[in-house]
Amino acid sequence: MFHIKLFIMKSNLRMLLLLLLIAISPITINSQIVSNVKFSGDTKIEPGVNNRVTVVVKNTNRIAMISDRSKYAVALVYKGSTNAGQAFNKEVNLGDPLDPGKTRNITVTFTGPTLPGEYDVDVVLKWGGKVVSNNDKVTFVVAADYKVSLNAKTTSYYVERGGTRDIDIAFNVENTGNTTWPEGKYTLHFDLASAPSGASKYDHDAFTISPKNVELWDFEPGVGDQFVYQDFKPPFTKGSYVVKVTLMLNGKKFDAEGNPQSITYKIDVR
């Protein structure tokens, strides 16, 4: 009888130990790391177009990862504060069950932001909204691609000597690059490159101007505006004047492809 009771006590102890092991086993995933994720791909992002990156998921648990009521999903989580960075917030379901020790490549697609800069992103695996993997930190980079189209609306003028007042000269300014321009104060600066023979000092000075009017632009790709200089006093010597027009940002030349631009004005004097 004593041996029977001892056997029962040992059996109960084994059961308790088994239950304890189950309770602390990584099979319970509510608060466990059951996988390893690793970013694989280029951190240089093309702005305004679809970018594809790969995340390698490895099941480090002792049971298969099966999406049932709660789904396993690879998640990119942007950690910054800019609205542009929200483009990186993406989740892709793991899909079919992933056996212990096995790996799977998950492709994540997103549209690259057009605002140049560095974007810090966490790469994790989630289960029912909870992170169940390591955190692979990645910094994505959107390089500046500044381009400008700068064209004069009109390049030919008829001037009456002694009778022509100030003329409005207008320019179409457009962002033709792939990234958003920096916020700031934009204006145009004019330098005379060449003038017709016989042009006076007054004629030369006519195109050497720095308009005081300023535009607060932060153009996205494909967006533009018209810049109008209303205080232009035309020269009175007939001929062609080649003028270098420079787009300025906060008092300095804006470093962009297509800037400055040479424009030829034809002046006909009556």
Report the alpha-carbon distance of residue 234 to residue 239 in Å, rounded: 12
pLDDT in tens, 1-10: 544 444 444 4
DSSP state, 147? B
Rounded average pLDDT over 29-53: 87
Tell me which of 92, 114, 142 is where a domain ends: 142
Residue 133 and residue 159 in one domain:
no
Tell me which of 142, 157, 180 is where a domain ends: 142
pLDDT in tens, 197-223: 999 999 999 888 877 778 889 899 999
Is the predicted pLDDT of residue 195 greater than 50, yes or no? yes
What is the span of the domain harbouring residue 244?
148-269
Residue 159 and residue 248 in one domain:
yes
Tell me which of 142, 176, 191 is where a domain ends: 142
**Cβ partners under 8 Å of residue 65, min gap 6:** 34, 35, 59, 72, 94, 97, 98
pTM listed for this prediction = 0.78
111 within 8 A of 87, measured Cβ to Cβ: yes
Q: Please, what is the average pLDDT of the chain?
A: 87
pLDDT in tens, 251-267: 999 999 999 999 999 99
Residue 58 and residue 102 in one domain:
yes
Residue 41 inside a domain? The answer is yes
Residue 227 inside a domain? The answer is yes
pLDDT, position 15:
53
pLDDT in tens, 227-239: 988 888 899 899 9
Q: Which whole-number Å values give the CA distances from 141 to 53, 114, 120, 126, in the listed order?
A: 13, 11, 9, 25
